[in-house]
Amino acid sequence: MSPEAGRSERFPTLTRCAPVFVGAGVAGVLHGLVVSGDCGYPTRWIGLGSRAGNCSGCGRICLIGGCRLILARITGVDGSTWRWPRVPRWLWVVGPGVMVMLADTDAGSVITASQSGARWGYRLIALQVLLVPVLYLVMELTVRLGIATGKGHAQLIREHFGARWATVSVAALLVSAFGALVTEFAGVAGVGELFGLPAALTVLAAAALLVLLVISGGYRRVELVGIALGLFELAFVAAAVLSHPGVHALAAGVVSQPLDQSGYLTLVAANVGAVLMPWMLFYQQGAVVDKGLMVRDLRSARIDTAVGALLTQLVMCSVLIATAASLHGRVGSLQSVGAIAGALAPLLGSSTSRILLACGILGAALVAAIVVSLAAAWAVTEATRQPRSLNDGVRRAPLFYGLYTGAVAIGALLVLASRSLVRLAVDVEVVNALLLPLALGMLILLAHRVLAAPHALRRSHRVAVSLTVVAVALVGIIAIGFAFGL
């Protein structure tokens, strides 16, 4: 049979094959989507995980659970000869920026945005928009460093500033990471409580899922599942639409800025602190290296980062709009998932508010837990020069997988042992604000010292990045002052 005839037989009609691709897409999310070889291109589907298929990009033997049988039954052809088309390079590059930005809108950030809307209406919308370029300028540096050097953040710090500064930076990251994990698992526990489930059950189940995902899958699988989980945050966009915000009230709120109010300035600092966290820098640079992005991928990686920045701030704006339209002037401080759901219930309905919040916060918490734990594991193994790729097995990189598993386990146990999750969340924000100047300062120093032409920063770009880093660091220091009543 000629290749042309084979192709026409495998794809009889668009109508007949459409259910195959829809079903394959859904099954792909459930099974970790596509398991990729070293080249990053997806393997062909194989039946029920019972056989091995060779990656069409690099020939590596990969396993993927099952749509070949579905394909064969619906189309009447042998699915063993069917292959996915090669993914365009630009689409394969997308991932590190989107995933880290979705993790940025974690459970703590959602509560911060909810408090902002409930207490100050639409006034902080303008700030959320202004933070988009801030996010992009800072995170683009990690992309540039990772692609230009092929090395992770902690590894570069060790090579250019010595083991002592690498130890200080990694220690600061670990403090921030464990604090963040506490807030993520607290969010998971809060979602379970919305449906009457005990915290121990939901937290331990989430921890087990996160560990199994990373241990059983390569980099591409972890990334795709993480993005799929994070996209549940778009439930907050639906909540904002259903809240029917008033256009005139929104415009008036954006114009009115009560800069003489200490409570307002406190939330300004909290929102800025919720946008940039030290573990984001380590994760994105480590992901760029582990994924194997090259110089030719820089433009696509920048677009990936920009799209992620827009997406995360869209989610933050949606949370703020939903709570401002529903709760401004009607409720006090919102400190938990249950409080937010209860306050939104009169407008959205009890069931709708619970489902939207559950989807949004659970997706945010799980993708953030993956990112934070991987950032911690990458940082320690980079500093100690140990194997650290998600494409390495447990036997080849025992320290990397041990650190990831330990981080998840400690975060889950801290939540289960704590009696005051709200107080823990507040402490985490203070710690992040304290560590942010160190992390951003090290980032800008690395960019000046490491990047050479053609990746070196131009003068205008250098000034913009430096001013952004200084402004964010100052806001972090102000947040510390507010926290201690100074």
Residue 102 to residues 3, 213, 336, 362, 366, Cα–Cα distance (Å) = 43, 18, 20, 12, 10
Q: Are 138 and 10 contained in the same domain?
A: no
Q: Is the whole model's pTM more than 0.85, yes or no?
A: no
Last residue of one domain, picked from the residues 87, 115, 141: 87
Residues 150, 278: one domain?
A: yes
* Residue 72 sits in the same domain as residue 130: no
- pLDDT at residue 62 in the model: 38
Do 137 and 40 lie in one domain? The reply is no
Do 79 and 196 belong together in one domain?
A: no
The CATH code of the domain that includes 213 is: 1.20.1740.10
Computed from CA positions of residues 462, 156, 214, 426, in that sequence, does the dihedral angle turn out positive or negative? Answer: negative
Q: 125-149 and 278-291 helices cross at what angle (nearest 10)?
A: 40
pLDDT 10s digit of each residue in the chain, 486 long?
A: 444 444 344 334 333 443 443 444 444 444 443 333 334 434 333 333 333 333 433 333 333 334 444 444 455 555 455 555 566 788 888 889 999 999 988 877 887 788 788 777 788 888 888 889 888 988 999 999 999 998 999 999 999 998 899 999 998 888 888 888 888 888 888 888 878 888 889 999 999 999 998 888 788 888 988 999 988 888 888 888 887 777 777 777 777 777 767 677 777 777 777 778 889 999 999 999 998 888 888 999 999 999 999 999 999 988 888 888 776 655 555 555 666 666 666 555 667 777 877 888 888 889 999 999 999 999 999 988 888 888 888 888 899 999 999 999 988 888 887 655 555 555 666 667 677 778 888 888 888 888 877 877 788 877 887 887 777 777 766 656 665 555
Residue 334, Ramachandran bin (φ over 0: left; ψ between -120 and 50: alpha; else beta)? beta
Residues 54 and 189 in one domain: no
Of the candidates 27, 61, 87, which is a domain's last residue? 87
Are the CB atoms for 379 and 170 separated by under 8 Å? Answer: yes
Q: State how far the Cα of 306 lies from the Cα of 295, in Å rounded to an integer.
A: 18
- Please give the structure tokens belonging to residue 175: 């403090």
- The pair phi, psi for residue 36, each rounded to 5°, is -105, 155
104 and 156 within one domain = yes
Number of domains in the chain: 2
Q: What is the distance of C-alpha 359 from the center of its chain? A: 15
Judgement on whether residues 83 and 139 belong to the same structural domain of the protein: no
What is the residue-wise DSSP string for 174-197?
HHHHHHHHHHHHHHHHHHHHHTT-
Asked if 105 and 235 count as a contact pair (C-beta separation under 8 A), the reply is: no
Beta bridge partners of 54: 61
Compute CA 242 distance to the chain's CA centroid, rounded to the nearest angstrom. 25
Q: Are residues 66 and 145 in the same domain?
A: no
Identity of the residue numbered 465: V
Q: 143 and 116, same structural domain?
A: yes
Dihedral sign, Cα of residue 465, residue 466, residue 469, residue 470: negative
Domain boundary among 52, 87, 122: 87
Asked if residue 8 and residue 116 are part of one domain, the reply reads no
Domain of residue 416 covers 91-483
182 and 284 together in one domain: yes
DSSP 296-336: GGHHHHHHHHHHHHHHHHHHHHHHHHHHHHHHTTT-----S
